[in-house]
Amino acid sequence: MQRLIPTLRNDQVDEALISVINTLQICAKEISFRCGQGKLAGVLGSTLDENIQGETQKKLDVLANQLLKDILLECKHVRAVASEEEEGIVGGTLDGRYLVAFDPLDGSSNIDINSMVGTIFSVLPAPAEPGAEVDMFLQPGSNQVAAGYILYGPRTMLVFTTGKGVKMFTLDQTVGEFLLTEADVTIAETTTEFAINMSNHRHWQPGMRRYIDDLLLGKAGPRNKDFNMRWVAAMVADVHRVLTRGGLFTYPWDSRKANKPFKLRLMYEGNPMAWLVEQAGGLADTGEGRILDIQPTDIHQRCGVILGSRDEVTTCLQYLKGSQ
Ligand code: AHG
Ligand code: MN
Ligand code: MN
Ligand code: MN
């Protein structure tokens, strides 16, 4: 099985970008080890702090964030990083060519129950002139040069795209290296599986309620087929399932949060996952347009996310637009 660096070279990925991806896989191994230690290393539970998102930080959120910052900022190609857990950006090498945005630990509520979590990353080009300003990050997801995630599950997997399809690597613990296990991931166009937090049903827009209600009716309803539901409560794991066997994943508009009607963050969750899904032949939309087309105005901004199998996302969007 092919190792990471030769695979990237085969794809003619720029050497500086290879170095950034290599740095990310070093972080991944370290975080994977810490997640595996759990209580043995005293890393479970919460801190007393709140992050910029208004969430109580888990000890592993803080640890993973610190590891990523420390290791990435040592890479001379990294100009600056932005994180779900940091209010502002953190500068690195002044003439570094790349910016890295990340969700250090996705699925924090799964940490203490020993369920799946992950790290999501998005690499953007830095402007030609040296310096590190927050505005440099405000680029649409279509500008990404690499994006992906590391899933810490029964197997630790690195899944990413550099614009040449989606590749999956599995960490071989015996040699301590990520080896290529899926060279060209494609998402099935049709599906009978969906992922949504059903407990929020009463807070959705009418179109989303009608869409999900019709899925639940199965063969007895207008969709004329039975659907199954899965929700890991970690986007990284729910999207991994979609990439592996198709499906629709959504975290839609929610009436409870008047000024923040969406949960997922554009730069750390929406954009990287949207690019992966598109590269695998699926669709990724906010409900009002392609996620990758959004021009960000704030590094912490949030967006609606509807992604996965092409036909199912299209159907969901028709319900939202009231045409079904
Ligand atoms: P994070 O742990 O990085 O804050 O992200 C959590 C997100 C996402 O991973 C997941 O899809 C969603 O929150 C889960 O939400 P519910 O708690 O509503 O299930
Ligand atoms: Mn969080
Ligand atoms: Mn997250
Ligand atoms: Mn997180």
Residue type, 214: D
109 lines ligand 1 (CB under 6 A): yes
Is 187 contained in some domain?
no
Ligand 4 centroid, distance to 65 Cα (angstroms): 9
| Statement: residue 256 has pLDDT above 90 | no
Q: What is the pLDDT of residue 40?
A: 96
| pLDDT tens by residue, 174-208 | 999 999 999 999 999 999 999 999 999 999 999 99
> Does the residue 188 lie in any domain?
no
| Same domain (yes/no): 144, 200 | no
Give the structural domain span for 210: 193-320
pLDDT at 260: 82
Q: Look at the block and give the residue holding tokens 């494609």.
A: 186
One-letter amino acid of 39: K
Structure tokens at 118: 């992950």
Q: How far is the CA of 217 from the centre of ligand 3 (A)?
A: 31
Please state the domain count of the chain: 2
Q: Given a cut of 80, is residue 209 above it in pLDDT?
A: yes
User: Was 269 annotated as part of a binding site?
Assistant: yes
Q: Is residue 257 part of a domain?
A: yes
d(CA 28, CA 39): 19
Give the CA angle between residues 242, 118, 235 to the nearest 5°.
Answer: 40
Q: Kindly indicate whether the ipTM for this predicted assembly is greater than 0.95, answering yes or no.
A: yes
Burial 117-135 (b: 16+ CB within 10 A, else e): bbbbbbbbebeeeeebeee
| Weakest-pLDDT range from 17-21, 129-133, 214-218 | 129-133
Q: Up-side HSE of residue 19: CA atoms within 13 Å toward CB?
A: 14
- At 210 the pLDDT is 98
Cβ pair 201, 207 in contact under 8 A: no
pLDDT of residue 130: 87
275 CA distance to ligand 1 middle (Å):
19
- Looking at residue 253, which CATH number applies to its domain? 3.40.190.80
Of the pLDDT bands very low, low, confident and very high (cuts 50, 70, 90), residue 34 is very high
**Of 23, 21, 26, nearest in space to 7 by CA:** 21
Q: Is the CB of 270 within 6 Å of ligand 1? A: no
Q: Is 69 in the pocket of ligand 1 (CB under 6 A)?
A: no
Report helix, strand or coil for 122: strand
Query: Is 135 among the annotated ligand-binding positions?
Result: no
**H helix intervals, the chain:** 4-10, 15-37, 59-72, 206-217, 235-245, 271-279, 310-320
Distance CA 286, CA 279 (A): 17
Q: Is 105 annotated as a binding residue?
A: yes
- Interval between CA 236 and ligand 3 midpoint (Å): 8
112 marked among binding-site residues: no
Residue 196 has φ and ψ, to the nearest 5°, of -155, 150
pLDDT at residue 324 greater than cutoff 90: no
What is the CATH number for 164? Answer: 3.30.540.10
- Counting ligands in written order, which one lies closest to the CA of residue 268? 3
pLDDT of 82-115, one tens digit each?
999 999 999 999 999 999 999 999 999 999 999 9
Percentage of the residues of the chain whose pLDDT score is greater than 90:
96
- Ligand 1 atom having least distance to the Cα of 55: 4
Going by pLDDT thresholds of 50, 70 and 90, the confidence category of residue 36 is very high
